Structure 1
Amino acid sequence: MESSALITIGLPSALAIIMFGLGLTLTVGDFHRIAQSPRAVFIALALQLLVLPAMAFGLIMVFDLDPLLAIGMMLLAASPGGTTANLYSHLFRGDVALNITLTAINAVLAAVTVPVITNFAIGYFGADGEVGLQLSKVIQVIAIVLAPVVIGMITRRFSPTLAARADRPVRIFSVAVLALVSVGALVAERDNIADYARQVGLVTAIFCLCSLTLGYAGARLLQLAQPQAIAVSMEVGIHNTAVAMTIALSVLDSAEAAIPAAVYSVLMYVIAALFGYAITRNTSAAQVSGSSRVEVTKHRSL
């Protein structure tokens, strides 16, 4: 993919604004809450940093993806949880405070994990001649992922009024950029889009569903409460695909490597909504049933 001012300057700048907006929602207290829910944080981070890349690698092997698509899948797996996970967690009665804590930690760790996992994928799948993530590009990733988050947190600390005013515009901007980058990545590869959909449509859907399921089931198996399990599930299953696509397009200079994240960015919202409904339906039914029994008991006592 040929470089242009939009790709080399526009996208990294847009991602920096998005990450700045994420920083505006975070405080130092979000990191302090780790001590309050250490087990939940550990489970989520273990899944995010270890299990998801391993699962993505396994799916790549099973579906025999082309090298650049394989790198894109690993980049997707390495991308941190998105702020949309907080919204979905809220909608399905999850522990939003835990989500915020995990988002804060992931935003910091991504500056290291994304280059490490991406470099592994580039070396393993033999795409060194086409893409690369050398030291200068690693520094670029850190600059566009971590630095804006820190600046956003500092802004909120010293100017909460400005942070509150900027929050909504930045959120709208983030959604617009994600949509534009997704469409742009797909249009850039329009001649191959049918083949890519065949190759990564199913694999990204499976990856999303497995991520959500592992997050929820892992948390419940380790005896976390339902709200925390929902929070972990959404944090693990909903990725900041703007990070993956921007790095693929502007750092790796590959539209093909951005395709898995572009497809995932569409599928994850639908799959996460259906998954959230499925895991909370029985809870809601139980609450209604419990309320009915209370009403019957009250009626009989009268």
Structure 2
Amino acid sequence: MDSALTSVALPAALAIIMFGLGLSLTVDDFARVARHPKAVAIALVCQLVLLPAIAFGLVTAFDLDPLLAVGMMLLAASPGGTTANLFSHLFRGDVALNVTLTAVNSVLAVVTLPVITNFALGYFDPADGGGSLGLQFTKVLQVFSVVLVPVALGIATRRRSPALADRADRPVRIGSAAVLALVIVGTVVSERENIADYAAAIGLIAVAFCVLSLTVGYVVPRRLGITDRQSVACSMEIGIHNSTLAITIAISLLDSVRLAVPAAVYGVVMFPVAAAFGWLITRTTRTDDAAVSRV
């Protein structure tokens, strides 16, 4: 992929997206963890432990190409994005919990993402042009700079001028969606000669991982006594990943377009799958509520 896109455009695009995330956050969103510790703890365990384990199981079971396997693990380690808040709202989830989980996950990802990615690189040992891959300390600092710094600036902007943050929120959200689309298209175009093979190799795994992520995010909290609205929020947060972050790290920091392919494919399939899943659980909940009311 073109060096200007790799070194400038992708990090800048991700910075805009993370700044937009920060515009929707306040310090109270982090403090809310103390008011809903059980829901947050369960969601974080699902996000940080179960999802990487599920991704590892899938890529191992399907004997996926090492680079694509690492790309799936990188995706699994990526936190939820602001789109999860929208889907949670559409399907009557606890959006405030989504905001809190996004805030906490974005901070934790600075540590967990390099750990999981480096584990995957060491285990699958992919070869990409003979170079060595890995998120060393300097690259971890770059992850920090493109994730937390823009978020902090967005939070500071909202704290200093809520009216300005409100006015900027919609344009930034629209711009973020456009950026995500362009990033995905750019990744696909760069690998157009191999895209059919990649789609065949990763498409089914991406769909399976999305379905399993959404299901785990909903079923586990419900089984552990979390309310339906909070379980919907957990499901969307866990199932809808920040694909742009995964793509940026793969291309800009690890210098491998192939590593970005799983995130690009997932960025396409997660929206219809999440919409179908949200419709299904909403319909099921309404049916259960109707049955209870008749009794």
The alignment's TM-score, normalised by the length of structure 2, stands at 0.95
Structure 2 CA distance, aligned partners of 1:208 and 1:47? 13
Gaps of 5+ in 2: none
Q: 1:187 aligns to what?
A: 189
1:43 maps to what in 2? 42
Q: How many residues align?
A: 292
Partners of 1:159 and 1:49 in 2: how far apart?
34
For residue 208 of structure 1, give the secondary structure of its aligned residue in structure 2.
helix
Note the C-alpha offset of 1:77.
0.2
User: Counterpart of 1:134?
Assistant: 136
Deviates more, 1:268-277 or 1:114-123: 114-123
Letter in structure 2 aligned against 1:244: A
Give the unaligned 5+ runs of structure 1: 295-302
Give the CA deviation at 1:282: 2.5
Q: What SS does the corresponding residue of 1:191 show, helix, strand or coil?
A: coil
**Structure 1 position 124, deviation (Å):** 1.5
Q: Answer yes or no: is 1:251 the counterpart of 2:253.
A: yes
Letter in 2 for 1:174: S
CA distance in 2, matches of 1:162, 1:173: 17
- Deviation, structure 1 residue 219: 0.7
Which residue is 1:24 aligned to?
Answer: 23
Aligned to 2:101: 102
Aligned residue in 1 for 2:227: 225
Taking structure 1 as reference, are residues 288 and 217 closer, same or farther at Cα in structure 2, changes over 3 Å only? closer
Return the letter of the residue paired with 1:223.
G
TM-aligned CA deviation for residue 138 of structure 1: 1.1
Rg larger for: 1
CA distance in 2, matches of 1:239, 1:77: 8
| Offset of residue 271 of structure 1 | 0.6
Aligned to 1:174: 176
CA deviation digits over 1:264-286, x for unaligned, max 9? 01111111111111111022235
1:91 Cα offset (Å): 0.8
Give, in whole Å, the separation in 1 of the partners of 2:189 and 2:108: 31
3-state secondary structure, aligned to 2:125: coil
Shift of residue 122 of structure 1? 1.4
Match runs of 1:1-302 below 5 Å: 4-127=3-126, 129-287=131-289
Partner SS, residue 190 of structure 1: coil
C-alpha distance in structure 2 between counterparts of 1:177 and 1:250, whole Å? 16
Per the TM alignment, residue 18 of structure 1 is displaced from its structure 2 partner at its CA by 0.7
Query: Which amino acid is 1:48 matched to?
Result: Q
- Percent identity at matched positions? 64
Whole-angstrom CA distance in 2 between matches of 1:285 and 1:116? 43
Structure 1 moving runs of 4+ over 2 Å: 127-132, 282-291
2:255 alignment partner, SS class = coil
Whole-angstrom distance in 1 between the partners of 2:84 and 2:122: 31
Q: TM-score, normalising length from structure 1?
A: 0.93
Describe the SS at the equivalent of 1:179.
helix
Q: Could you tell me how far apart the structure 2 residues matched to 1:17 and 1:114 are?
A: 20
